[in-house]
Amino acid sequence: MSESLVSRPFTWLFVVVAVVMAFVMPLSYLGSFLDLDGHTKDLPIAIASEDAGADINGRNVNLGQQVVASITGPNPQLGHKVKWLVLPNRPAVLAKIGDDKAYAVIVVPRDYSLRVAALSNPAVPPNAPAAIEILTNPAAGSYASTVAQQIATTAVSQVAQSVRQQVSRALTAAHATVPPALAPLVAAPVQPQITVAAPAPPHSASGMGPFYFAVMLTLAGLIGADIVNVGVDFLAGIGELGRLIARIRGAPIAATPVTLWGTKLIATVVMSILAGIVQTLVAVGMFSMPHDANLWRLTLFAILCVAATALLTLLLLTAFGTAGLLLAVLFTTLFGVASSGGPYPLQMLPDFFRFLASWLPLRFETDGMRALVFFGGRAAAGLRSALWVLGAYAIASVVLGGIVAWVFDRTARERARASRAVAGAPRSLNG
């Protein structure tokens, strides 16, 4: 009686692998996203003071510098959640936003000290409150911009509360009576002014468009490489295609592992070029996705994104067979999305996912695509590092895939020689 497949240990080994995958899956999205506030660290918010100062009680005082020191000083409520970037002026902080290196910016204007001094001087009736500008960056991602704006607004509100107390004490000391018309100014002497510095234009999914596009390019590379791999194996007669209850196999041909690798490599590169062009045309032409940079640059980068993922997938398929596809899904998609910085900024993820973000490709695809879509294709906005990393993935995958194919080819030749040697050896007679 033939042995039942159910009784074989390897049958249950595959079940164990499936259960392990079921355990790993929630570690990615749930492990990275469920406690964003608890993991937030070094969220970049810039601050600059252009305040020229004012003469208060016979001495020159620069209250803008005091605002910067107050906001960037130790804050038990924030802890290490914010990384304050102290810059000299408004153009400098705008450059940080343009490079996608700050999620929000606080700017103290040139007349800040003069306006606060006027509020504290009963002899000079003020006509407007002091203002502190908050510049937002929705192009960095809707969640990142929202959280940074909330933190900046809270910081300005705390400054306003302190100034209100100072103004009240100054007016009390001067025995000044505040006219009813000026009471609102005294009650709110400092007000935040919100300015959208890097808006997320229409058809951009509130700043999430580049991330979604990068995911689609990743899936195109992953699925496309698997289709090429299956198709070439079928045509070479070493793989089957299912059609209902029938199995179809191509006519066997004399193809070495190196030949198969070369064929798959050429087909994968052609597929990557066509897929990158098609997806860009769909995103821009059909759905009007915005793009600050030249359309050809966007298309070429899309091709690179598809190629990097596809060539990595092809390498893993060549080295590990079907298991390689599972590894490719883990690297490029499952943990790739969780560490991409697309749904939520990297500064709000656990350290493990920040580590993954330093080398997994989807993070760099997202950064590069965001630079091309929102930030004019500026190299400093993430495009430079994306080109280097994705280019390295593509080249390394081609080189390593060729080495793996050569090793398999050499092993197959040695086995063939050994088989021929055994077949040609004289057989000993018994008895």
Q: 92-149 pLDDT, tens per residue?
A: 999 999 999 999 999 999 999 988 887 766 555 556 788 899 999 999 988 999 999 9
* Nearest partner of 140 among 1, 44, 214, judged by Cα: 44
CA distance 135 to 102: 10
CA distance 210 to 42: 23
Q: Give ranges for CATH 3.40.1710 in the chain.
A: 40-196
Least confident among 83-87, 147-151, 426-430? 426-430
Residue 39 has pLDDT above 90, yes or no: yes
Mean pLDDT, range 147-162, rounded to an integer: 93
pLDDT in tens, 311-368: 999 999 999 998 999 999 999 999 999 999 999 999 999 999 999 999 999 999 999 9
Which residues pair with residue 130 across a beta bridge? Answer: 190
pLDDT band at 259 (very low <50, low <70, confident <90, very high): very high
80's tokens? 């290490």
pLDDT at 91: 94
The CATH fold assigned to 40-196 is: abc type-2 transporter like fold (3.40.1710)
pLDDT at 306: 98
pLDDT band at 249 (very low <50, low <70, confident <90, very high): low
pLDDT band at 3 (very low <50, low <70, confident <90, very high): low
69's tokens? 């020191």
Least confident among 26-40, 195-209, 229-243, 371-385? 229-243
CA distance 116 to 193: 16
Whole-number percent of the chain with pLDDT over 90? 65
pLDDT band at 85 (very low <50, low <70, confident <90, very high): very high
pLDDT at 127: 64
Could you give the 3-state DSSP secondary structure of residue 100? coil
pLDDT band at 418 (very low <50, low <70, confident <90, very high): confident
pLDDT at 301: 97
351's tokens? 């350290």
Cα 392 → chain centroid: 18
pLDDT band at 1 (very low <50, low <70, confident <90, very high): very low
pLDDT at 366: 97
pLDDT band at 431 (very low <50, low <70, confident <90, very high): very low
pLDDT at 97: 95
Mean pLDDT, range 285-298, rounded to an integer: 88
**Cα within 13 Å of Cα(360), Cβ side:** 28
* Nearest partner of 71 among 94, 53, 49, judged by Cα: 49
Output 413 or 181, whichever has higher pLDDT: 413
CA distance 281 to 352: 36
Mean pLDDT, range 68-91, rounded to an integer: 93
pLDDT at 392: 98
Least confident among 73-77, 221-225, 267-271? 73-77
Task: Quote the mean pLDDT of the chain.
Answer: 88
Residue 14 has pLDDT above 90, yes or no: no
pLDDT at 262: 95
Output 82 or 175, whichever has higher pLDDT: 82
Range with top average pLDDT, 120-134, 211-225, 402-416: 211-225
| pTM for this entry | 0.89
